[in-house]
Structure 1
């Protein structure tokens, strides 16, 4: 248990930051899942719209340190390629 005043404050800050990061990560996963579901359903316009919403959320998460920037870029790249492949199939 934290003994000093500064350690107690640090514990409060970490708890607050953890809660915010958990919420951001959950939001990120939700929007990525929406894109993936639209791709699986074969709905091209829904997939494109979902990707346009998910991409800034992914990049913002990278900026905030929720995910690594290369991870975010890789996810955006793969989702974009999947949506493009869906357009070619139609």
Structure 2
């Protein structure tokens, strides 16, 4: 445990940030699970909306260095591909 006041404050700040970051990462994972469930159920309109929301969450997380920008880009690309692939057979 820290003894110095500034170290105590730093510990409090770190804990708040950790919880906030944890919640944000959890929200991204939850949104991705919802998206994949919608694609599996063939609810493509809702899946596209969920994909836009997921992209927004991922972009914000990457902007704040919560996830690496390349990891964010990869997640967005893979989910976009998933939605596109699911909607392609319906179009033809």
TM-score (norm: length of structure 1): 0.92
Structure 2 partner of 1:62: 62
Secondary structure at the aligned position of 1:12 is classed as helix
Task: Compute the displacement of 1:88 (Å).
Answer: 0.9
Q: Structure 1 residue 52 and structure 2 residue 42: aligned?
A: no
Please give the root-mean-square deviation of Cα atoms over the aligned residues, in Å.
1.0
Structure 2 partner of 1:3: 3
Structure 1 unaligned blocks of 5 or more: none
The superposition leaves residues 8-63 of structure 1 with CA deviations (integer Å, 9 ceiling, x where unpaired) of: 11101101111111111111111111111111112211211110111111110111
How many residues in Structure 1 have an aligned counterpart in Structure 2? 90
Q: Distance in 2 between matches of 1:42 and 1:22?
A: 30
